[in-house]
Amino acid sequence: MSVAVKTICCIGAGYVGGPTMAVIADKCRDLKVIVVDLNKEKIDSWNNEDLSKLPIYEPGLKELIKRCRGKNLFFSTKVKQSIAQSDMVFISVNTPTKQSGLGAGEASDLKYIESSARSIAEYAIGHTIVVEKSTIPVKTAEVIKTILISSQNDLKKKSSKSFSVLSNPEFLAEGTAIDDLINPSRVLIGGESTSSINALVNIYKNWVDEEKIIKTNIWSSELSKLTANAFLAQRVSSINSISALCEKTGADISEVAKAVGMDYRIGKNFLKSGPGFGGSCFKKDILNLVYICKLYGLNEVANYWNEVLEINHWQQNRLTNIILKKLFNTATNKKIGILGFSFKANTNDTRESPAINICTNLLIDGANLSIYDPKVKFQEIYNNLKDFKNSEDISFNYEDRICMASSYEELANGADAILILTEWNEFKKIQWSKISKLMRKPSWIFDCRDIIDLNDFVESDLNIWKLGFGSNVDNLK
């Protein structure tokens, strides 16, 4: 048996809520899908006629919005009315690391989950299926249920509301979100109520093969999401740790990754060495895992996962030190060009981008930065770097030392070094012979994303340093 679902609502119009609901609306034309957010500016952007002004950049998203918005997909700030008319409500709000109080620096801050649950408890009518889409600590469904049940028992309201809670974590990656949603590796649904699970399965069945839909108990579902992210991050830290050894020994990290990844038990994905993982989730989800392990007294497990984060931070600092060493141990008054500021290609998201830490380190050492990113706005870059200002040295006047370049030529003009920090495809087409003429000599290119082909530089007077590339070894002595 399954519950009939005609209208769904998603609380949170962010990187997950927006694209996920757009795909559901596109694939289920009989469903009415409403995405709500308290942030009016964000909702206005989702409703902007000019599709280049959507709040997030994601390949394929504009086309979906064009097809569905105003037909069966709506973006609104009307939380109350939207919940009231929905049979199913997804919670897709942010779950950042707690900044203060109990568990600060590790535990997830569940205040947005709690306020969403309270809104659902207050405004829902009849039977409502509540779906956890956000990534949350294992056992959060308990919190949500407690809040919902207490409203059910609120006799003063004399209402006949009832709820069931499902966990349905999202596995999309930014930059490939639409593809990931359309062709998911799996859809995970945890819960107790068979009819509610079936109602959600019926939505996904419109485009996902039923064999890919896994049903588990709710706690397995919650914990699987944290574990999947921890495993992915661990692979990046593992390959990054080996990149440092390659540089010392003459091995080439891309060759090592290929040789290792061809073992079918290991697999070739997620073995790309780089400046460290960024993004809003890996760090916060591992911190959360570490916190939960400590709560249960599993200190060895906590320490194990914490190392994945330590290596990530170390990789970013290690890169800065190599760069500074090449620049005669100082970046003071040197112009350094930064290619790419988003945490990966094909997204405008800068949350936890390795560029933030690396650029900050260089600013602290006195560099002037000229930054180019195809999709990140200057204000966003500036806000990210400004936030670090006070933690290191309040006397720096960063404003004059960061600028946005509008072309590769502008970025290169008079620069001592250029760093490639994001693997945007367009960087592969840069004509380095032209760039070389504009830079101050000796000039350096630091390729942290395996973008450039060394064969193109045989005749060049540019000094090239590639992350994890063993032939750098002589230059480093």
Residue 278 interacting entry, from ligand UGA, ligand NAD, none, C-beta within 5 to 8 Å by type: ligand UGA
Question: For 252-257, which contacts have Cβ atoms below 8 Å and span 24 or more sequence positions?
Answer: 252/468, 252/469, 252/470, 252/471, 253/467, 253/468, 253/469, 254/450, 254/468, 254/469
CA distance 280 to 94: 9
Determine whether 89 is exposed, middle or buried from the number of CB atoms within 10 Å of its CB (0-12, 13-18, 19+).
buried
Least distance in Å: CB of 477 to ligand UGA? 27
Give the number of residues in contact with ligand UGA, rule: CB under 6 A. Answer: 20
Q: Which is nearer to ligand NAD, 135 or 368 (CB)?
A: 135
Q: Which one of ligand NAD, ligand UGA, none is in contact with 11 (Cβ closer than 5 to 8 A by kind)?
A: ligand NAD
Residue 384 interacts, among ligand NAD, ligand UGA, none and using kind-specific CB cut-offs from 5 to 8 Å, with none
Interface positions, 49-88, toward ligand UGA (CB under 6 A): none
Fill in the amino acid letter for 159: S
Candidates 2, 6, 39, 262; binder of ligand NAD (CB under 6 A) is: 39
- 295 CB burial (10 A radius; 0-12, 13-18, 19+): middle
Choice from 271, 405, 451, 462 touching ligand UGA (CB under 6 A): 271
- Nearest-approach distance from CB 77 to ligand NAD, in angstroms: 8
Residues 172-191 that bind ligand UGA (CB under 6 A): 172-174
* 113 within 8 A of 73, measured Cβ to Cβ: no
In the complex with ligand NAD, which residue's Cβ is closer, 219 or 396?
A: 219
Amino acid letter at 347?
A: T
Q: Which residues between 68 and 107 bind ligand NAD (CB under 6 A)?
A: 79, 92-95
- Judged by beta carbon, residue 16 or residue 31, the one nearer ligand NAD is 16
361 binds ligand NAD (CB under 6 A): no
**Identity of the residue, 227 or 436, whose beta carbon is nearer to ligand UGA in the bound complex:** 227
327, burial (CB in 10 Å: exposed 0-12, middle 13-18, buried 19+): buried
Residue recorded with tokens 């914490």: 306
**Per the residue annotation, which of 281, 293, 359, 448 is the catalytic one?**
281
The interface partner of residue 130, options being ligand NAD, ligand UGA, none and the CB cut-off 5 to 8 Å by kind, is none
Residue 314 as a binder of ligand UGA (CB under 6 A): the answer is no
Residues 253 and 272 sit within 8 Å (Cβ to Cβ)? no
| Residue 433: strand, helix, or coil | helix
User: Binding partner of residue 115 among ligand UGA, ligand NAD, none, CB under 5 to 8 Å per kind?
Assistant: ligand NAD
Which member of 128, 135, 151, 312 binds ligand UGA (CB under 6 A)? 135
Q: How far is the CB of 256 from ligand NAD (least distance, A)?
A: 28
* Binding flag, residue 43, ligand NAD (CB under 6 A): no
Ordered alpha helix ranges (H), 251-394: 253-261, 282-295, 299-326, 354-364, 378-386, 389-392
Q: Which of residues 218-247 bind ligand UGA (CB under 6 A)?
A: 229, 232, 236
| Strand ranges (E), 145-242 | 162-167, 187-190, 213-216
Torsion of the alpha carbons at 47, 53, 55 and 57, rounded to the nearest 10: 130
Question: What are the residues whose beta carbons fall under 8 Å from the beta carbon of 189, sequence distance 6 or more?
Answer: 166, 167, 168, 197, 200, 201, 213, 214, 215, 216, 221
Name the one range near ligand UGA by CB under 6 A: 25-33, 86-94, 169-177, 389-397. Answer: 169-177
Site string for ligand NAD, 133-172 (x = CB under 6 A): -xx----------------------------------x-x
Residue 271 interacts, among ligand NAD, ligand UGA, none and using kind-specific CB cut-offs from 5 to 8 Å, with ligand UGA
122 with 42: CB under 8 angstroms?
Answer: no
Q: 95 near 136, Cβ under 8 Å?
A: yes
In the complex, least distance from residue 469 CB atom to ligand NAD, rounded to whole angstroms: 30
Is residue 422 at the binding interface for ligand NAD, with CB under 6 A as the rule?
A: no
Q: Does the active-site annotation cover 68?
A: no
What are the tokens at 251?
């091995």
Question: 17-48 burial string, b = 16+ CB within 10 Å, else e?
Answer: bbbbbbbbbbbbeebbbbbbbbeeebbebbee
Residues that bind ligand NAD (CB under 6 A): 11-17, 36-39, 42, 79, 92-95, 112, 115-116, 134-135, 170, 172, 174, 280-281
**Which residues are known to be catalytic?**
281
